[in-house]
Amino acid sequence: MKAVHLLLGLTLAATIGCGSVKPRPQSLNARCQAGEGKACLRLGLGLEDGRDDLPDLKRAAAAYGLACEYGELDGCWRRGELLRTGAGGVKRNLKRARALFVQACNPKRTMACLHLAEMERLGEGGPTDAARALARYQSLCKAGMAQACNDLGLAQQGQSADAAKVTLQKSCAAKNLLACANLGVLLVKAGDVAGALPLLVRACRGNEATACVQLAVLHEGGRVPGKAADPGRAAMLYQRACKTGHEDGCSGMALLLFLGKGVPAHPHKAARVWKTVCQAGHAVSCFNLAMAYRAGRGKAFPADAEAAKAWRLEACKLGLAAACDSK
């Protein structure tokens, strides 16, 4: 055994002597701090995905900011995305986010253009510019970006339901399940539930949460042709949507849990779900939580006027008019 150790020691010494051991490369952080934009971008991606640990979106946003300063436009729009959503505790700054999307938008960075079009359409971080947003969607859609075709259909709804329907039909036919889901929602609004159902079922099976939520609403309200209201089925669909992170799915599931419709009543679990989704910025969940504390559910969930007021004000801060008007 000793001879083996000695042999390994000699081999290692010889290797070092020959100079074949390469120096350890600098860490991404060190290279980023030294001004290497690509290293900053890679650092941000790792922090956002949580490759080595839990995701850290605040540090990711900072890394993307440095990447942008060093000329990496992918860092610009990725920082803009975090500033727009405020995810992971990043401080929201819609004006700055929009400016970053403007800076990064070009034919090679279509996601920046897509985000910019949405902000222009909604008037986020600057003036509303529906015409420019529509032009961007059309350009991106023609270039083959499926998400842009879907968003184009949504943008067209305010001008022409027929045009929106045609755009979403084309995108759905190209196997864009999100477009199928939104086409189904559009048909439901137009009163064509029978026409919407196969589209919604197909999209929900493909894990498009929007479709699952719309199906849940239909089953909960007894609006599926030939079938009675089925809150149990609705609960399953809300839960499926919630598992993908869809806030409306989580909020709908919580309401059924609170009321005990289709599932055993569990008001405390419902409150936990609402609280989590509310803190992620979902105003309706904040308001539902406020109403839950206001009404209570007997001894199992006593009413709490102070908590109700606090969550109602939170919903109001997030822009829900009904919460601001409610007392």
Instruction: Judge whether residue 3 has pLDDT over 50.
Output: no
Q: Which tens digit of pLDDT belongs to each residue from 79-102?
A: 999 999 888 889 999 999 999 999
User: Average pLDDT over the chain, rounded to whole?
Assistant: 90
Q: Which tens digit of pLDDT belongs to each residue from 308-323?
A: 999 999 999 998 999 9
Q: What is the mean pLDDT of residues 218-222?
A: 97
CATH number at residue 241: 1.25.40.10
Predicted pLDDT of residue 106: 96
Are 58 and 96 found together in one domain? yes
Are 191 and 249 found together in one domain? yes
Are 260 and 273 found together in one domain? no
Establish if 154 belongs to a structural domain.
no
Q: Which residues of 202-221 are buried (b: 16+ CB within 10 A; e: fewer)?
A: bbbeeebbbbbbbbbbbbbe
pLDDT grade, residue 270 (50/70/90)?
A: very high
d(CA 49, CA 190): 40
Q: What is the mean pLDDT of residues 261-272?
A: 96
**Residue 88 Rama label (left phi>0; alpha psi -120 to 50; beta):** left
Instruction: Judge whether residue 114 has pLDDT over 50.
Output: yes
Instruction: Judge whether residue 140 has pLDDT over 90.
Output: yes
pLDDT grade, residue 15 (50/70/90)?
A: very low
CA distances from 165 to 148, 172, 224, 283 (A): 15, 10, 21, 29
Predicted pLDDT of residue 218: 98
Q: Which of 7-16, 202-211, 212-221, 282-291 is predicted least confidently?
A: 7-16
CB-based contact 57:88 (threshold 8 Å): yes
Establish if 145 belongs to a structural domain.
no
Q: Name the token pair of 317.
A: 């801060």
Establish if 76 belongs to a structural domain.
yes
Q: Which of 78-82, 156-160, 247-251, 278-282 is predicted least confidently?
A: 156-160
Are 259 and 272 found together in one domain? no
Are 36 and 133 found together in one domain? yes
Are 110 and 70 found together in one domain? yes
Are 133 and 37 found together in one domain? yes
CA angle 84, 317, 186 (to 5 degrees): 65
From 88, 122, 137, give the residue that closes a domain: 137
Contacts by 268-275 with C-beta closer than 8 Å and gap 24+?
Answer: 268/300, 268/301, 271/301, 273/242
Ranges of H-type helices in 260-304: 267-279, 283-295
Predicted pLDDT of residue 89: 86
Are 131 and 207 found together in one domain? no
Establish if 170 belongs to a structural domain.
no
Establish if 5 belongs to a structural domain.
no
Q: What is the mean pLDDT of residues 156-174?
A: 90
What are the respective helix, strand and coil percentages of the chain, to the nearest 5? 70, 0, 30
* Percent of the chain whose predicted confidence (pLDDT) is above 90: 79
Predicted pLDDT of residue 5: 36
Predicted pLDDT of residue 23: 53
Residue 205 structural domain: 175-264
Are 257 and 272 found together in one domain? no
Q: How many domains does the chain fold into?
A: 3
Are 256 and 293 found together in one domain? no
d(CA 29, CA 279): 31
Establish if 4 belongs to a structural domain.
no
Q: Which residues of 60-85 are buried (b: 16+ CB within 10 A; e: fewer)?
A: bbbbbbbbbebebbbbbbbbbbbbbe
From 217, 244, 264, give the residue that closes a domain: 264
Establish if 63 belongs to a structural domain.
yes
Q: Which tens digit of pLDDT belongs to each residue from 21-66?
A: 555 557 889 999 999 999 999 999 999 998 778 899 999 999 999 9
Establish if 9 belongs to a structural domain.
no
Are 124 and 60 found together in one domain? yes
Residue 58 CB contacts under 8 Å (≥ 6 apart), including other chains: 88, 89, 90
Instruction: Judge whether residue 1 has pLDDT over 80.
Output: no
CB-based contact 180:211 (threshold 8 Å): yes
pLDDT grade, residue 246 (50/70/90)?
A: very high
d(CA 103, CA 138): 20
Predicted pLDDT of residue 7: 31
Predicted pLDDT of residue 40: 97
Residue 161 CB contacts under 8 Å (≥ 6 apart), including other chains: 186, 190
CA angle 219, 320, 327 (to 5 degrees): 100
pLDDT grade, residue 174 (50/70/90)?
A: confident
